[in-house]
Amino acid sequence: MKTLTTTAVAALFAATSLAHAESWVPDPTHTEVLISWNHAGFSIQTAKFNEVEGALEFTPGDVEGASADFSVIVSSIDTGVPDFDGHLQSPDFFDAAAFPTIRFVSTSVEQTGEMTVKATGDLTIKDVTKPATFDITVHQMGEHPVGQFFDFYKGEWLGMTATATINRSEWGMAGFIPVGSDAIDITINTEMRAGGWD
């Protein structure tokens, strides 16, 4: 898909009355950070982080000027199996006691298609910081239709999905490879509101 011109980008991302930079803050009830991996060739397993902090700084019409700074709380990991959650939080993997957050800070954002963006930045897991790139699909931007029913959803909203694949061994988590795959797929689904909440 052809990269948009500045005019087309502005048209796509200016379906809002906002004309200056805003902090777009995730709705905790409609934001999920999922990781998945191959387990010994027998299945694809998943886990979810339930707590996300941070914001996207974005001026409609200025995609390349956007910046993101998000963290997930490691202790919020949820596989549906409490004992496994505890193991993932142990020094064998994330070592949540010593490193309680995973953080991504963007260094560049570029438009790649009519509804797609690429965000590259520094991903910190444990005490290792390395570059990572997320491919982002924008689903919708503007007034949230649910706002006609609930005040919480009034205002300007942005909905998107971001995906990336990393090798966990590069971030100091090489345990049990190759029984558990080195490659970890990350999927982030989120709805964010401009200005956050008071």
Q: Would 165 be classed as within a structural domain?
A: yes
Q: Would 139 be classed as within a structural domain?
A: yes
**What is the pTM assigned to this prediction?**
0.88
pLDDT recorded at residue 34: 98
Q: Would 25 be classed as within a structural domain?
A: yes
CATH (domain of 85) = 2.40.128.110
Q: Would 122 be classed as within a structural domain?
A: yes
Domain hosting 187: range is 6-194
- Dist. CA 23–CA 107, nearest whole Å: 17
Q: Tens digits of per-residue pLDDT, 80-135? A: 999 999 999 999 999 999 999 999 999 999 999 999 999 999 999 999 999 999 99
Q: Would 47 be classed as within a structural domain?
A: yes
Domain count of the fold of the chain: 1
pLDDT recorded at residue 198: 62
Q: Would 179 be classed as within a structural domain?
A: yes
Q: Would 1 be classed as within a structural domain?
A: no
Q: Tens digits of per-residue pLDDT, 14-54? A: 444 445 668 999 999 999 999 999 999 999 999 999 999 99
11 — pLDDT class (breaks 50, 70, 90): very low
